[in-house]
């Protein structure tokens, strides 16, 4: 795996399994700090979508990785465009999450997306959300969080979220899909889903978003000093 180039720009890594709330917390944190935000899962999801559309075998690491340099991806607020097309809804489907998890297990694919993720590191700072932000992509992050929750609670959250978005979802199916995705992401050989040894682990089961954000902010404040604004 390629080493990260040295940089003075601070990164906060927010890793964790699906539906733990890392995206919600990461976006809130980036907004409060006025920093850039990287949703690294969206890169894996977009590459999986592009591969499926190109008829590429998702198990063929070299062929999927070959699509990465030409991936024409644009983040516009909460929307994501692939070659100009708004693919936000397509990317959020569990089918795409599963495909992303499959290609993410291939070392060629992870390597092909590495420089692209690191390019998000721009002043004044970056909040990066994913599975290996603190372990592989930004090992020198100033603060690392591992946000988790029970698989039951994560499935319930994802179910509610998908219904709110007008998408069809069944709770037992989601539970099975999340558990299978957790097992694949945590069990792979390259950059598995695991808390960095120096990460602050927050189990959000039964804890609301506001309290999680408050805990994260308190920790960030202790690392970065008093210049961190309040959550409101
Ligand atoms: N601590 C929490 N308590 C209750 N719901 C939460 C919490 N954190 C996130 N959520 C909700 O759960 C859903 C999944 O959160 P999200 O941030 O997308 O997870 P992830 O990025 O880890 O997959 C969203 O609808 C979000 O509003
Ligand atoms: N840094 C990352 C980000 C995502 N992945 C893979 C593994 C995940 O199952 C898929 C989708 O990730 P994403 O963060 O979008 O998924 P959730 O929002 O947590 O459900 O991509 C990864 O291997 N490494």
Q: What is the pLDDT of residue 77?
A: 86
Task: Please indicate, yes or no, if residue 231 is contained in any of the structural domains.
Answer: no
Task: Please indicate, yes or no, if residue 82 is contained in any of the structural domains.
Answer: yes
Exposure of 223 by Cβ count < 10 A (0-12 exposed, 13-18 middle, 19+ buried)?
Answer: middle
Q: Kindly give the parts of the chain with pLDDT less than 50.
A: none
pTM flag (> 0.90):
yes
How many Å lie between the centroid of ligand 2 and the Cα of residue 99? 10
Task: Please indicate, yes or no, if residue 46 is contained in any of the structural domains.
Answer: yes
Distance CA 101, CA 82 (A): 19
Helix H or strand E encompassing 31: helix 22-33
Task: Please indicate, yes or no, if residue 229 is contained in any of the structural domains.
Answer: no
- CATH code for position 117: 3.40.50.300
Task: Please indicate, yes or no, if residue 83 is contained in any of the structural domains.
Answer: yes
Q: What is the pLDDT of residue 228?
A: 73
Task: Please indicate, yes or no, if residue 2 is contained in any of the structural domains.
Answer: no
Is the dihedral angle over the CA atoms 154, 156, 159, 164 positive or is it negative? negative
Location of structure tokens 């024409």: 72
Task: Please indicate, yes or no, if residue 22 is contained in any of the structural domains.
Answer: yes
State which residues form the domain around 72. Answer: 11-224
Number of domains in the chain: 1
Task: Please indicate, yes or no, if residue 41 is contained in any of the structural domains.
Answer: yes
How many Å lie between the centroid of ligand 2 and the Cα of residue 131? 6
Does the Cβ of 167 fall within 6 Å of ligand 1? no
Q: What is the pLDDT of residue 1?
A: 61
Would you say 33 and 228 are in contact if contact means Cβ atoms under 8 Å apart? yes
Query: Which atom of ligand 1 lies closest to the CA of 212?
Result: 1
């Amino acid at each position: 795996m390629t080493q990260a180039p040295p940089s003075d720009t601070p990164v906060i890594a927010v890793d964790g399994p699906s539906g733990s709330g890392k995206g919600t917390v990461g976006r809130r944190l980036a907004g409060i700090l006025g920093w850039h935000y990287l949703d690294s899962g969206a890169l894996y999801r977009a590459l999986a979508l592009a591969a499926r559309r190109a008829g590429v075998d998702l198990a063929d690491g070299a062929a999927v990785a070959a699509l990465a340099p030409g991936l024409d991806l644009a983040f516009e607020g909460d929307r994501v465009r692939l070659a100009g097309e708004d693919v936000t809804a397509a990317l959020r489907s569990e089918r795409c999450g599963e495909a992303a998890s499959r290609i993410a297990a291939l070392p060629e694919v992870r390597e092909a997306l590495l420089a692209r993720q690191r390019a998000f590191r721009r002043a004044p700072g970056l909040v990066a959300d994913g599975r290996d932000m603190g372990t592989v992509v930004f090992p020198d992050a100033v603060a690392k969080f591992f946000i988790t929750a029970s698989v039951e609670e994560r499935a319930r959250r994802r179910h509610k979220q998908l219904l709110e978005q007008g998408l069809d979802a069944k709770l037992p199916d989601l539970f099975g899909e999340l558990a299978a995705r957790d097992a694949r992401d945590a069990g792979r050989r390259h950059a598995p889903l695991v808390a960095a040894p120096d990460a602050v682990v927050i189990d959000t089961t039964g804890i609301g978003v506001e309290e999680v954000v408050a805990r994260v902010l308190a920790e960030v404040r202790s690392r970065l000093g008093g210049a961190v604004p309040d959550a409101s």
